[in-house]
Amino acid sequence: MIQDFLFQAFAASAILGAVIMVTRRNPVSAVIFLVGVFFATSGMFLMLDAHYIAAINVILYGGAIMVLFLFVLMLLNLGHADWRDLRGPVGGLIGGSISIAFLGVLTRLFVGGTEARPVVEIAGSALREAAAEQGVVGVVARPLFTEYTIVLEVTGVLLLVSIVGTILLARRERT
């Protein structure tokens, strides 16, 4: 099936892009590869019937946040490679072992979590039917504005606070 092949291609390119991104010494190429990772995960969201999330992921992460990172890199003139950036072999050993421990715990969790509880079979077909009925945005928006209204408002306040805090932090003090 072409869809399965595409999904696996997206998965492989996400992992490959992440590995390349972590090992690049030049911050600008790290940003570019991270954008690639976000595009690949957006493709995976699309195949997992999360169309709205896929669009938001490209627009918000791949677009807005990564442009912000690139903007800060250029503002501070940090776009060159630095040989001191990567830690030495001791740091590599510690970092690698902690991350492998994380990988083991997460894999155990994902496989073991469904062993303990019976899996509810509502799956992708129900999501697909709801999307066909209410539209791909409506299926996310309807619970957002009915059940989770207060959470949405609190998130709005959080964004406002972050805007004010950013201006306060980045402002040059005049004495």
Partner 1 sequence: MSEAGMAGALGLNGLIALFVSAILFSIGVIGVLLRRNAIIVFMCVELMLNAANLSLVAFSRMHGIEGQIFVFFVMAVAAAEAAVGLAIIIAIFRHYEVVDLDRFRLLKW
Token output for 102: 């994380």
Binders of partner 1 among 15-34, rule CB under 8 A? 15, 18-19, 21-22, 27, 30-31, 34
Single out the residue of 9, 74, 80, 95 in contact with partner 1 (rule: CB under 8 A): 95
Contact between 58 and partner 1 by CB under 8 A: the answer reads: no
Tokens of 8: 């696996």
Options 36, 39, 43, 49; binder of partner 1; rule CB under 8 A: 49
> In whole angstroms, what is the distance from residue 119 CA to residue 98 CA?
31
Q: Figure out which of the listed residues 36, 39, 43, 45 binds partner 1, where binding follows CB under 8 A.
A: 45
- The alpha carbon of 136 is separated from its chain's Cα centroid by a whole number of angstroms, namely 20
Neighbours of 78 (CB within 10 A): 12
166 binds partner 1 (CB under 8 A): yes
Considering only 9, 92, 132, 153, the residue that binds partner 1 (CB under 8 A) is 92
For residues 131-160, which are near partner 1 according to CB under 8 A? Answer: 139-140, 143-144, 148, 151, 155, 158-159
Question: Which residue blocks in 117-170 are alpha helix, DSSP H?
Answer: 123-134, 138-146, 149-170
Among 74, 80, 91, 132, binds partner 1 (CB under 8 A): 91
Distance of CA 48 to the CA centre of its chain: 15
* Cβ(44)–Cβ(9) below 8 Å: no
67 belongs to the binding site for partner 1 (CB under 8 A): no
